[in-house]
Amino acid sequence: MQDILKELEDRRVEARLGGGQRRIDSQHKKGKLTARERLDVLLDQGSFEEYDMYKTHRCTDFGMEETKISGDGVVTGWGTINGRPTYVFSQDFTVFGGSLSETHAEKICKIMDLALQNGVPVIGLNDSGGARIQEGVASLGGYAEVFYRNVQASGVIPQISVIMGPCAGGAVYSPAMTDYIFMVKDTSYMFVTGPDVVKTVTNEVVTAEELGGASTHTKKSSVADGAFENDLETLLEIRRLFDFLPLSNEAELPVLETNDPADRIEMSLDTIVPENPNQPYDMHEVIQKIADEGDFFEIQKDHAGNILCGYIRLNGSTVGVVANQPMVLAGCLDIDSAKKAGRFVRYCNAFNIPILTLVDVPGFLPGTVQEYGGIIKHGAKLLFAYAEATVPKVTVIVRKAYGGAYDVMASKHIRSDVNYAWPTAEIAVMGAKGATEILYREDLNNPEKIAERTKEYEDRFANPFIAAQRGFIDEVIQPHSTRRRVGRAFDLLKTKKVPAINKKNDNIPL
Ligand code: HXC
């Protein structure tokens, strides 16, 4: 018996060593943790249960039968994050560069199938040289099996991808179909074709970092939802995000105990909106003052800064926030912000996360860049997402709500449930000056008259009461009481039910 136990232990030790100490040292030298060290940080201590530790590849080409390493380049299983379960896979770069073989894919597929069956999220830690070159088409098939499962699981269980090394070729499409992608600065990159191919085909000279590093994907392409300094910080932030998310689309939202009183008054909100309507203020501050303990997990913070998206808690329960940010492009909606927020709203809806919308929007951003880029279609994404969302929706108009953007930003008309306005709200077809110049074109050469008419228009429309008279606003609230009012609204909406319309899928303007 002792021998058998020892053999088991020896096999485990060997498997845990992956591609060997030399390659582990090389991983560390690059500032990266190993696949197993990463799981130690991500999961609660001692909670990881590993599957398929002894699985090896079946390839016999290129002398591969001589090199079989237990686990075949990916560590899979499940564990807990603050007590709640998640399935995980963590690619081991020390074994064939973490490349994906047929058996490597089978391991990932196994935990994905279990995750979908059991209603538990999947977190994938990606660090891989792509398809296992020695296996050819078998590994392509393996990728496609993963892709298919990504789509089946979409909207059913949260899927989070963390890019912690190379991720290239078609391999990028599994992360691309998951809900969130986070990257590690300086040590991770994603691209469909690498710098060498780019040079050959387009003659562009570009480094891997410029082409697909964290900065590129968080700022320019918006492929990634965030990036952090190193492996440790990234994994700790994933733990933080995980705490906001339900385990599946049928699970209750997690509730975190809080000492922050639900009726906390925040007097500073009464003066946060400047006297001058053209002066910006930081919408982050409004969000943080409403949130439990000021905790806001922001998604895509380096992209389309004119809209803020992320998670807070109210009374301990998760709420998704979408908010115009007057500090960037005066808070205008444009292509990037509509796409960013549209996707966020759809995610919240899929996972029953209520949505709080804070509005300060002067309209859609004008210009040829926007029109040629398809703002009509992209702007419609956000409108569509809000209108189809059946989760509880509460809207607070903080300042401007002009034109089509008023309709889009979770207005009553597209079925927001509770719509509040601060006394500083201005709800109108357009800004007073623009409106006056159209209505009184004949007075354009008379600045005094225009100023007088503008003042008239402002007095009439630069307030929330015309909309409130029509019932488009349920109540004009004191800014200092926003946390209490919004929290109470969401509490009441917990039992909201909207009958589903029978259709195969909608046709959101992609
Ligand atoms: C097999 C691989 C491999 C791969 C790396 N290795 N990639 N083995 N298949 N795809 C092995 C190396 O032979 C090496 O083995 C070890 O992993 C580490 O690789 P290094 O090159 O020494 O590391 P580094 O210098 O850090 O470079 C990492 C890298 C590079 C940039 C990822 O290895 C690379 O370019 N690999 C090939 C990438 C690629 O072309 N993949 C196929 C893409 S096509 P030893 O034994 O020396 O440690 C694709 C299609 C997917 O993925 C389509 C899905 C639909």
Give catalytic status of residue 404 as yes or no: yes
Ligand 1 atom 41 nearest Cα: 130
Specify the pLDDT at position 459. Answer: 85
Q: How far is CA 359 from CA 254, 411, 472, 480, 490, in A?
A: 27, 10, 14, 16, 18
What does DSSP say about strands 393-402 and 418-421: parallel, antiparallel, or unpaired?
parallel
Cα 389 to Cα 277, 345, 392, 429: the distances in Å are 31, 7, 8, 25
In the prediction, which pLDDT does 377 show? Answer: 98
Phi first, then psi, for residue 226 (nearest 5°) are 175, 160
| Residue 413 CA, distance from chain mean position | 26
Question: Any catalytic annotation for residue 291?
Answer: no
Q: What is the pLDDT of residue 268?
A: 97
Q: Residue 111: what pLDDT?
A: 98
Q: Which residues neighbour 462 within 8 Å (Cβ) at sequence distance 6 or greater?
A: 277, 426, 428, 432
Report CA-CA distances (Å) from 107 to 53, 77, 145, 225. Answer: 9, 9, 11, 26
Helix (H) or strand (E) holding 240: helix 231-242
- Which residue out of 79, 169, 213, 487 is catalytically annotated? 169
List, in order, residues 6 or more apart from 187 with CB less than 8 Å away.
Answer: 30, 31, 32, 164, 165, 230, 231
Q: 271 burial class (0-12, 13-18, 19+ CB within 10 angstroms)?
A: exposed
Is 140's C-beta closer than 6 angstroms to any atom of ligand 1?
yes
State in Å: Cα 49 to ligand 1 middle: 28
Q: Give the pairing of strands 74-81 and 49-51.
A: antiparallel
Q: Given ligand 1 and candidates 22, 94, 99, which is best to mutate, with the most ligand atoms within 8 Å of its CB?
A: 99
Contact 64, 254 (CB under 8 A): no
Q: Please give the distance, rounded to the nearest whole angstrom, from the Cα atom of residue 219 to the centre of ligand 1.
A: 27
What residue type is 420 in one-letter code? Y
Residue 28 region by backbone torsions, left for phi larger than 0, else alpha for psi between -120 and 50, else beta: alpha
Is the minimum distance from the CB of 166 to ligand 1 under 6 angstroms? yes
Domains detected in the chain: 2-242 (3.90.226.10), 267-425+463-494 (3.90.226.10), 430-462 (no CATH)
Mean pLDDT by 10 residues, the chain (510 residues): 90 93 97 98 98 94 90 97 98 96 97 98 97 93 97 98 94 96 97 92 95 97 98 98 98 96 98 94 98 98 98 98 98 98 98 98 97 98 98 98 97 98 93 85 88 88 91 97 98 96 95
Looking at ligand 1, which residue's alpha carbon is closest to its atom 37?
129
| CA torsion through residues 368, 372, 373, 377, sign | positive
Calpha distance 173→487 (Å, rounded): 38
* Cβ-Cβ contacts under 8 Å for 392 (sequence gap 6 or more): 354, 355, 417, 489, 490, 493, 494, 496
User: Which helix (H) or strand (E) element contains residue 451?
Assistant: helix 447-461
